[in-house]
Amino acid sequence: MQELQADGLDLKGIVRAGDTILWGQACGEPQTLTEALMAQRAGLGGVNVFLGSGFSSTLKPEYADHLRFVGIGAAGTHRRLTKAGVLDVLPCHVSKMEGYVTDGVIPCDIAFVQVAPADENGHYSLGLISDYIRAAVRRARVVVAEVNARVPQVPCAEPLTAADIDYVIHTDRALVELAPAAITDLDRAIAGFAQGYIPERATLQVGIGAVPEAVMANLRNHRDLSIHSGMLGDSAADLVECGAVTNAYKEIDPGVMVTGALIGTRRLYDFCHRNKGVRMHPLSHTHNIAMLSRLSRFISLNSAIEVDLTGQVNAESINGQYLGAVGGQVDYVRAATASVGGRSMIALPSTAQNGAVSRIVMSLSGPVTTARSDADVIVTEYGAADLRGKPLSQRMKAMIAIAHPAQRENLERAAHAAAKEVA
């Protein structure tokens, strides 16, 4: 392991023309390394970058002059890259990504990682992200680690050691943070209907956004909940501290809150620092359908751009504009519906653009992310449509009932016309 100085870091001796660089996504971005790459891009001879989600201001569309961006979608600040047409989107279930990196399907010549300072055992905690980054470290020709003094030493299933690292720089800089989304009355209304599907002793998976925040806020009076989720936000710490989450009744990892990403603020990071009740795992543990389905009462809550009357879910793009990602939605939908007592919810507001556009639609304006054959419960501020076991005619009625009242007549007409065409 060779130590380099963060100031004046020169990547020319590390990065080769044509290399693909992969780094920790979301709040785990090693910003000193990524900023150096952006600043030095013109002299590196053409480099490929593979991206997960992003919440920093590091990447800009104009950097595509010397970099080729490939990634999983428009999550966070990477939406500006898809909007500019410079991010080549890989539609991929999150559960596949670790294997793709391991097998070289997603190339990785250079891995940039952000880690916590070494502990008393010489272990470097991955800190804020552990999804497919460990696989990238194993696959990469060169591993460059940014040891940031502010990264929490979160317990990891497989931390790094000095033997994993080729080059190291030491920094002490603010971490990427994502504050909890502001909760509106509309979000609370959606959460109120979703709450009815979350029993005591449930194991939760929730995504990012105001609706998940509202749902978590509603669960403070629940008891013996558990969390096994691809990501944790600040609200997870709140539920542990108020006694709602104990992780006591999980069939897998009892007593431990499992995640692959910390996406929150310093409050969450400090809560997870050396906390034996939290453990970071790779995707093969956080998104493994066979494993997750062994958890009883596994409840999955995810969002969508739009849902059609038959239960098809679009979480990716609309009218050719990429706004989201495949993500882990299907992994969790299938795991929850295979779990004994489990339920899968897709929650979304009934309209967009101040009520002008219905998000409950006759036909999707983009791809099918989750098939109607996997649909379980769809929730809006007007109720919950339980689609299990319902034929198409009953599904359409249930979906129209949770659409915005001003949109229901148009949807009924469209459904009627579609039925006549089939007949």
DSSP type of residue 163: G
Q: Answer yes or no: do 239 and 153 share one domain.
A: no
- To the question of pTM greater than 0.75 for the whole model, the response is yes
Domain count, the chain: 2
- How would residue 420 be classed by pLDDT, with cut points 50, 70 and 90? low
Check whether 422 has a pLDDT greater than 60. no
Q: Which of 18-32, 118-132, 296-310, 405-419 has the lowest mean pLDDT?
A: 405-419
Q: Is 140 among the domain residues?
A: yes
Percentage of residues of the chain with pLDDT beyond 90: 93
Instruction: Say if residues 113 and 145 touch (Cβ distance below 8 Å).
Output: yes
Instruction: Say if residues 278 and 262 touch (Cβ distance below 8 Å).
Output: no
CA angle 93, 95, 98 (to 5 degrees): 115
C-alpha 215/C-alpha 190 separation (Å) is 8
Q: Is 178 among the domain residues?
A: no
C-alpha 316/C-alpha 87 separation (Å) is 14
What integer is the mean pLDDT of 300-325?
94
Q: Is 8 among the domain residues?
A: yes
Percentage of residues of the chain with pLDDT beyond 70: 99
Check whether 418 has a pLDDT greater than 90. no
Measured between alpha carbons, how far is residue 185 from residues 63, 190, 310, 359 in Å?
40, 9, 28, 18
Instruction: Give the CATH number of the domain where residue 70 resides.
Output: 3.40.1080.10
Q: What is the pLDDT of residue 423?
A: 44
What integer is the mean pLDDT of 43-49?
96
Check whether 194 has a pLDDT greater than 90. yes
Check whether 334 has a pLDDT greater than 60. yes
Higher pLDDT, 207 or 62: 62
Check whether 260 has a pLDDT greater than 90. yes
Q: Answer yes or no: do 69 and 18 share one domain.
A: yes
Domain of 140 in residue numbering reads as 2-171
Q: Is 176 among the domain residues?
A: no
Q: Answer yes or no: do 150 and 195 share one domain.
A: no
Q: Answer yes or no: do 248 and 146 share one domain.
A: no
Q: What is the mean pLDDT of the chain?
A: 95
